[in-house]
Structure 1
């Protein structure tokens, strides 16, 4: 291995990290003193009602004590109520004071969580959360303070801690669950979909928290915990991405479509396992930038969103160049003398039905001289090689569920009276979309605002939202060691927020697309309007290799290590001592998810692809290829592939190794002109008609399926009753009222009206 060559990352992509890591990331390092405060509250309650330690009691004795604690959460006295809530949190934390190992603490966490749920703790805490969210006293107190700190969010943090530990524990289950625990887990998954407050599900309550926080009305809300809980609630209700392949094949079978032959995750694993040492990263290394041939002026369409241009506060390198060449790469080490056989491309090529239609249209125009409408079968008059080409295209034809749903929507639009829509299945995804629909634009803008504030390339602004309120202590550090600890805590805090939002957005996009294409397109358009594309590019406009390998963790004080056994003193030396991993799981997870989101938003959308070009994404993405992970590289190369024809021949000529990497790693579309097409003069606004047409289709879909009012004017019922029409209340404008006499003179007194004939008609 060369001195400057980074190793392949042994990263296993999954829905979440390990259980113990996900729990430890819930707590910030500034919360460390509160662990023993929880224990003290529990000990005081235990002294009143119990004679034996918790781990020595029978299940019935423990259940009685939990019910006592729950009763105490329903009292009006704030201190007594929170005293009991802290005691319950201590139970969720596995009664660590009675445990000698982390494995024992985890075992008691699982047992206690199932017992707490069986006693109705989760529903009670949902009500407490709703009550605390509406606590105007806490909000007004935080608004009056010049700086909001950890103390302002104490009550909300305790409630969210309990709920998060319960959700994460019940979501995963326990290996070898007994029947009672399996039943409880099934009941819990069903309960999450049900309304908890004002006919809103828990997910909607948490979305409301995010929106209220970004509006500035509740600066004390602990956003990291709220976002983590929201992400895990959606994982429970919608399902994870690891089984998406099976779910998609079930839906395809229901539509009489052939099953998918490839699982993307499995293919990427194969790429990683079989890739030679000189893989994609070795093909593309550091380039010396040259002058850009495109204008650096930012387009006007950024001004239409609710958040600022993510590129306005720095982070972009003006010297980065789209024409940066692969030719200046340092020489790669010599390959083995024995040639490595190429077994074939990793992906099966695909062809859309539309691609075959366009191919036949062009060939008929060339060889026959006329078109045959609505005929993609006849090959009369075409030469034999064209027959062979069509056969190959049909052999790789792929019909997606999205295409079928679009065709069905077009038919419903053409025949609104004769065509009946199939009954909509009330699945968790469908119920979530219905609930989110009225406020979905605000939800997306709020999430992106927080993501922008948490991005490492963002600079602090006086008018930006404060996402550090639930990590900064009341008294700022006074020593170098405390400052170092707080600095690591703040960076870790931001990384966890990015991780939660990236996973949350990808989860919504994937499940909405699987449920209905126009649900996916609706959320996609609002993300695009809120500047999601430049925001993600801004995120990657940094040293991604450093971000992926960042060590913003202190294992010595991670929960539960910091509360079990004898604790070592924290020093500057052991403060910087991390684990032996050569990468940070959450940061690599976030990068892959953000790349997948960018692919989802831009795939088959020319105007959005042009945004990638305008924001000079090519050098940004090429630098990110230095991260040696197959899945991440595949999604980067997909983004580069879709914009190559807009970058021009000169870019392709200067980046042939990049082109080779795309050819080797990315799925081929047999009629795609990515490798030779040239559209240098295209601009984003050239394709706005596509976006407008898509928006019309989405609005028509939402109005037909979810609106209570009829919006098709041609099909509205007509009221022919004269008295009914005259009896309708009509709201008159102030301008009309001021000029009412003039209107009477012109429209009534100056015209002769046969009132008898009008009434008779």
Structure 2
């Protein structure tokens, strides 16, 4: 026997009645059957129950060579009565021989070791049906195409830029423009010196004030920055041309089919190369100055007193060229830093003279708030602002690195198994301490990080003119109370009884046979333990006295603590898991400074951190070395400088961005066939590689969409994308810089009605259909336009491979997009456009818990609207940031009945979209009624499954909702007051106040005397008042 097997116990011979042996032959011997393990009900300490038996997954013990003999069966246990049963007429058939050990393992229950291995092999994250990746922006090609609209005017500007380049390039080489059209003077074939000389020549002319030649040179420069498409468009890279296998093409994440931009590989490379050439020649400053001059001219500021302007068309073309050049430079800078970690272009952007590109755009947008007649296109301005913020500050990954750099490296963030540790905030621990102290006044829990007042349930300064409620936010109720009688604690009742109350009557029946309230016959949970058991350390705590008398009366000495062990373990766990974020520490510091200022305690040394923000030169202080380019310190310095300069214009910028969202909501409300409406009949292409076709929008019949309508829908989507991306980045970086910067932006968003606008947008849209509907037309996109006007032309084979759904339309006219659904009477098969493709399935949907309601596609869907996904996720994230831990704002969500609109987003099988939707549900659950919770239990279950838990996760219990509702508005006011005081202290010029205004109003005693009308006797303008009798 192997050493691992337990020794055999002595077998007890079974008791066999003699009557059972009657009539049996010698060969027929009774066989004792082994009982199955399920019938034996083994105790918990057996090897079978503990999973210690060997199986196929573990290493079995070594068996001796030779044929494996069956193990002896375990004898059965007879549970007979004292009187034996009569002999059976016939015996059951003999049991089959026992199989070998390895074969028996298949029938036995699975043991612990293979079960753990099976669980570890399960996928941690469900595969997403959409090939969507939530990043800072889409691909370079997609972002560049979104800059150009589908209008004929913009296409004409592109052709004028090509004509101007051909003329200027030919003139520079001593020829006319014909050789370039014929391929004689290709830009890519010119030497590096020739290219540099020509670009420098263009920059020298652009710097001049003559508008007519400047416009020609500016158009030629834009053509160069756009990659000289006449010679480069349609040429794929050597790698893509050599590999025809589809497996080598990576799965796209931008919502386009694989290989969409394969024909534009060399075109994209030439764009990036020419932008780098411009930056190397120090041409970025000239382009930014030209943009500033063109925008100032559009805003009504005449920067050229000579009056040499041509006409409005030339001004519009010059503005378009300047914006396009800057946008291409920003996009190349973003891609170079992301792919190659090259910050050369970014450093050149940041090294510009004052005010810089970012502040220039902020000033332009702030002017759009007051003057609607400015002819600058808002979508392009917002795109420039978004990409400038993205390049200057960094994206979400850089923001996450900056946030992680402030974490305490000595605190554990994961347990032994690698799972993240569930933590608690200092405020949660403070509330827990108040709960325990209300029940056990003699207990002294571990001290908190922040010494909050007992009656304060927030890190904000104590509320004025508001009744204090000590530990009101817990399930046990308040153990202490105020002296006004508002609290129901019996400690502060008018008549306090030292003895316990008499027992309630044995029957709850009241007078007349009516039952009383159930609460009258339950223990009052608000009654604290006034006299807890004493221990040997009680005389050291003070105020209790000696325990000798109690020990004598009881007859034995108390051993053990006077607090339950579970409470002690909970307090120790809270103390170890308590984490204070950088935002909490900053808020606590500002709270302390504000309370000192309010009480007149702050001295001359308390404003040392303000001196660092002064712009005046300091003598005797060595100049600080600038941080390295791209470092966290440099990015945070840029955020601080931007906030200081842009503070007077932030409100105007937020209002203009919110107006862009309002225009979209207004269009959806007023237009029956508006963009992204109720696309009830939408279907998309099978295999997810074709162009999606709309089978009905808004449920109406009639006309088809024109190019102007499609362009308006697409432009609005691009504008929403830029607005949401800008707000998301500003909130992210402001929170990392200082929490009150972040709070100021959220207050501006709340005041601008961001929450009801987004809820209205969600109400008017069917998000599960919007993300599958692409407002795109390949024939009108930028790279297709470049290929169609290139030397190679559009590949004819590609057009033949397309479905013939729109073959009956003219080639020069874009295919129609049907915007209305047919009536049921007219929905005949011949009315549908002919298509050789199979039946198209519906968009994938899931329920509240994330389970698919229909079969999901086997391969990830690659044709979807990346813009719609990105914008929807950003809108929900911004709303979640606004409402997180803010009772007043969460009550807004409840009052607007946001749950029925947010539920739509749970149908989309996209993890980020569902996560932030569930977080919004979690915020408002404590303020919803019991009926709502009963009807939304699946949503609540999804919150538990997908949202990160906290150590004090009482959001479903709703501990003291009434107290939170009462304090919601005062807490909002306290936060706004603290934010205003912070801005006034650090940035007085940005708030429109003179420096040192707070110090003048700081004298507490002077203010108190002014309230009492003291100090007027020294005023010469007042006449002395004579009082009789003195």
TM class by smaller structure:
0.7 to 0.9
Instruction: Give the one of 890, 895, 902 matched to 1:609.
Output: 890
Distance (Å, rounded) in 2 between the aligned partners of 1:536 and 1:385: 45
Alpha-carbon shift at residue 660 of structure 1 (Å) = 0.7
Give 1:246 deviation, angstroms: 2.3
**Which residue of the partner structure matches residue 566 of structure 1?**
793
- Looking at structure 1, the residues matched to 314 and 746 of structure 2 have their Cα atoms a distance apart, in angstroms, of 37
Q: Which moved more, 1:708-717 or 1:648-657?
A: 708-717
Q: Are the equivalent residues in 2 in contact too, given 1:610–1:683 (CA < 8 A)?
A: no
In structure 2, what is the equivalent of residue 557 of structure 1? 780
What is the aligned partner in structure 2 of residue 200 from structure 1?
Answer: 355
In 1, the alpha carbon distance for the partners of 2:188 and 2:572 equals 70
The equivalent position to 2:334 in structure 1, one of 171, 177, 184, is 171
Counterpart of 2:343 in 1: which secondary structure?
Answer: helix
Shift, 1:686, TM fit: 5.1
Offset at residue 231 of structure 1 (A): 0.8
Moved more, 126-135 or 502-511: 126-135
Residues 517 and 380 of structure 1: CA distance in aligned 2, closer, same or farther (over 3 Å):
farther
Post-superposition Cα deviations, 1:122-175, rounded to whole Å, max 9, x if no partner, equal: 2111111111122168799xxxxxxxx999843322211110001110221189
Which structure 2 residue ranges, 5 or more long, are not aligned?
A: 1-126, 176-184, 236-263, 303-311, 452-540, 542-559, 597-601, 614-632, 672-701, 800-810, 819-834, 841-859, 989-993, 1005-1015
- Give the structure 2 partner of residue 111 of structure 1: 273
Residue 33 of structure 1 deviates from its aligned partner by 2.7
- Is 2:870 the partner of 1:589? yes
Q: Could you tell me which residue of structure 2 aligns to residue 25 of structure 1?
A: 146
> What CA deviation, in whole Å up to 9, does each residue of 1:432-463 have, x standing for no partner?
111111221111111111222134764469xx
Kindly tell me: are residues 166 and 369 of structure 1, through their superposed partners in 2, closer, same or farther at Cα, counting changes over 3 Å?
same
Could you tell me whether the CA contact under 8 Å between 2:426 and 2:578 is conserved in 1?
yes
Structure 2 equivalent of residue 209 of structure 1: 364
In structure 2, the partner of 1:186 is: 343
Q: Is the 8 A contact 1:457 1:538 kept in 2?
A: no
Which aligned pairs between 1:479-494 and structure 2 lie closer than 5 A?
Answer: 484-494=706-716
Of 30, 38, 43, which residue of structure 1 is paired with 2:166?
43
Structure-2 residue corresponding to 1:499: 721
1:432 to 1:374, Cα distance in 2 relative to 1, 3 A: same
Q: How far off is 1:382 after superposition?
A: 2.7
TM-score normalised to structure 1 length:
0.73
Cα distance in structure 2, aligned partners of 1:161 and 1:130: 13
Residues 456 and 107 from structure 1, CA distance in 2 versus in 1: closer, same or farther, beyond 3 angstroms? farther
Which SS does the other structure have where 1:54 is aligned? coil
Any idea what the Cα deviations from partners look like across 1:572-628, whole Å, max 9, x if unmatched?
A: 548789997342001100111111111111111111111111111111111221111
Greater mean deviation of Cα atoms: 686-695 or 487-496: 686-695
**What is the Cα deviation at residue 119 of structure 1?**
1.7
Match of 1:340 in 2: none
Deviations 1:220-244 (CA, angstroms, capped at 9, x unpaired)? 1111111111111111111110233
Distance 1:457 1:373, change over 3 A: farther
Does structure 2 conserve the Cα–Cα contact (< 8 Å) formed by 1:249 and 1:259? no
| Deviation digits for residues 231-266 of structure 1 (CA, Å, limit 9, x no counterpart) | 11111111110233322121225xx6747669xxxx
Aligned residues of 1:73 and 1:85 also touching (Cα < 8 A): yes
CA distance in 1, matches of 2:944, 2:422: 12
Aligned residue in 1 for 2:47:
none
Q: What aligned pairs does 1:228-267 form with structure 2 within 5 A after superposition?
A: 228-253=383-408, 258=411
1:33-432 alignment, distance < 5 Å: 33-50=156-173, 52-99=185-232, 100-101=234-235, 102-135=264-297, 153-173=316-336, 186-194=343-351, 196=353, 199-253=354-408, 258=411, 348-368=421-441, 381-413=562-594, 414=596, 415-419=602-606, 421-422=608-609, 427-432=637-642
Aligned position for 1:283: none
Q: Residue 194 of structure 1: CA displacement?
A: 4.7
Query: Are the equivalent residues in 1 in contact too, given 2:299–2:375 (CA < 8 A)?
Result: no
The answer (yes or no) to whether the contact 1:67–1:119 under 8 Å persists in 2 is yes
> What is the match of residue 16 of structure 1?
137
Q: Distance in 1 between matches of 2:663 and 2:412?
A: 42
Q: Any stretches of 5+ residues in structure 1 without a counterpart?
A: 1-5, 141-148, 263-343, 462-479, 719-742, 754-761
Q: Which moved more, 1:229-238 or 1:560-569?
A: 560-569
User: Corresponding residue for 2:756?
Assistant: 534
The match for 2:918 is 637
For 1:134, what is the secondary structure of its paired residue? helix
Q: Distance in 2 between matches of 1:687 and 1:614?
A: 14
- Residue 513 (str. 1) matches residue 735 (str. 2): yes
Alpha-carbon distance in 1 for matches of 2:410, 2:985: 26
Distance change in 2, residues 1:54/1:260 (3 Å): farther
Partners of 1:711 and 1:382 in 2: CA distance:
53
SS in 2 for 1:25: helix
Change (3 A) 1:246 1:134: closer
2:150 touches 2:781 (CA, 8 Å); kept in 1? yes
**Contact 2:128/2:911, CA 8 A, preserved across alignment:** no
1:427 Cα deviation (Å)? 0.8
1:665 aligns with 2:828: no
- Within 1, Cα distance between the matches of 2:156 and 2:281? 29
Structure 1 Cα separation of the partners of residues 748 and 590 of structure 2: 21
1:544 maps to which of 753, 762, 767: 767
Give the drift of 1:500. Answer: 0.6
Query: Does the Cα contact within 8 Å between 1:634 and 1:666 map onto a contact in 2?
Result: yes
Q: Which has the higher contact order (CA 8 A, sep 6+)?
A: 1
Cα distance, 1:749–1:448 mapped onto 2, change above 3 Å = closer
The equivalent of 1:696 in structure 2 is 977
Alpha-carbon shift at residue 398 of structure 1 (Å):
2.4
Cα distance, 1:412 vs structure 2: 3.3
When residues 245 and 81 of structure 1 are mapped into structure 2, their CA distance, relative to the original with a 3 A threshold, is same
Matches of 1:572 and 1:115, distance apart in 2:
37
Are the structure 2 counterparts of residues 92 and 20 from structure 1 closer, same or farther at C-alpha, using a change threshold of 3 Å? same
The structure with the largest helix share of the pair is 1
State the 1:650 CA deviation: 1.1
**Range with bigger deviation, 125-134 or 627-636:** 125-134
Give, in whole Å, the separation in 1 of the partners of 2:779 and 2:414.
46
Q: Which sits farther off after the overlay, 84-93 or 682-691?
A: 682-691
How well do the aligned residues superpose, as a CA RMSD in angstroms?
Answer: 3.7
Tell me how far 1:523 sits from its aligned partner: 1.2
Q: Is the 8 A contact 1:368 1:381 kept in 2?
A: no
Q: Which residue in 2 is equivalent to 1:440? A: 650
**CA–CA separation in structure 2 for the residues paired with 1:519 and 1:442:** 16
- The residue aligned with 2:65 is none
